[in-house]
Amino acid sequence: MSEITVAPTPDERLTAAIEPWLQHMTWRRDYQHWRERRINQERYQDERLALLESIAGSLPDMHLLDLGAGMGGFAVAAAQRGASVVACEYNRAYCSIIALRAQRCGVTIPIRNAAGEALPCPNASFDAVVCWDVIEHVQSPERMLAEIRRVLRPSGTVLLTVINRRAWVDPHYHLRGINWLPRTWAEWIIERWGRSKAGAALRDMQRLSAMHYYHYPEFITLAQRHGFGVRDLREEQLRAGRLASPRRSRRIVRAGLRVMGLEAAAYRLQRRWYVGMFELALTKL
């Protein structure tokens, strides 16, 4: 009797493609939850989609570039909501994952395997660009910003994250205090804690000393020099009374600071010395 070969389902194909790219993070306490969010990434994008629409307009009317699209969760979710999306990703294996995710979800997305410093896109072709967890990894943030400006239409919007050079808890290694140390000391601690990503197969894995972290005023100056106006989205949420604090103790402290008229000043102090990343909107001037 001959064996019957059953073809893998789209879910199985996607999971099999993603799994090898998660193994360097098994030390995470929340690894199983984090893994599930990676595999089903498109299901967890409501907050970012709402943010994009609130700043850049209706998704069905939007030409959107997802720069550094990673495993494609946001690009697929935006396409499901009607946006015309191009996904640009440097890691070729991630491009294959984006294609599998799009196939599983029944959407079509053009995928470009390219670096942010040399975008294979025409001038002024996008209303908006999203660039989350990317700028720290590129070879030249300056060239990437210039390329983003080139492909944006007049008054186009960029949503991006930038890692704080003084981040108390490092967003990549999840260790406290290492960004307040010389990089050689920090990398020694990363090795000692078994958090090094050396040897991982990812093309975009780097040592801490190779990544681009910024002081807040430093990045604002850089963005302005490349022809962008800058808005701190968290500060805007705070001023509008919409900045959420996950812990009750923090909500109580913030309420007390608000009564004293010190909430905004405390936020700016935290932004300078503590917060992990800045969430920014840039506008092409």
Q: Can you read off the two tokens belonging to residue 232? A: 């701190």
DSSP letter assigned to residue 247:
S
The beta-strand segments (E) located in the chain are: 63-67, 84-89, 111-113, 126-131, 152-163, 228-232, 277-284
User: Strands 84-89, 63-67: parallel, antiparallel or unpaired by DSSP?
Assistant: parallel
Q: Which amino acid, 185?
A: W
Tell whether pTM > 0.75.
yes
H or E, element range at 223 = helix 216-225
Q: What is the mean pLDDT of each run of 10 residues along the chain (285 residues)?
A: 73 94 88 95 96 96 97 98 97 96 96 96 97 95 98 97 96 94 94 73 69 97 97 92 82 84 89 95 97
Rounded to the nearest 10 degrees, the angle between the axes of helix 248-259 and helix 263-273 is 130
Q: What are the domain boundaries of the chain?
A: 10-167+201-241+274-284
131-154 as b/e, with b when 16 or more CB fall inside 10 Å? bbebbbbbeebeebbebbbebbee
pLDDT in the model for residue 5: 67
pLDDT in the model for residue 278: 97
Helix (H, G, I), strand (E, B) or coil at 234: helix
- Which of these CATH numbers, 3.40.50.300, 3.40.50.150, 3.30.2130.10, 3.30.1180.20, describes 10-167+201-241+274-284? 3.40.50.150
pLDDT in the model for residue 203: 47
Instruction: List, for residues 199-234, the tens digit of each pLDDT value.
Output: 544 444 678 999 999 999 999 999 999 999 999 999
Compute the Cα dihedral for 242, 244, 250, 251 and give only its sign.
Answer: positive
Q: Can you read off the two tokens belonging to residue 162? A: 């930038």
pLDDT in the model for residue 83: 97
Rounded to the nearest 10 degrees, the angle between the axes of helix 141-151 and helix 216-225 is 50
pLDDT in the model for residue 194: 83
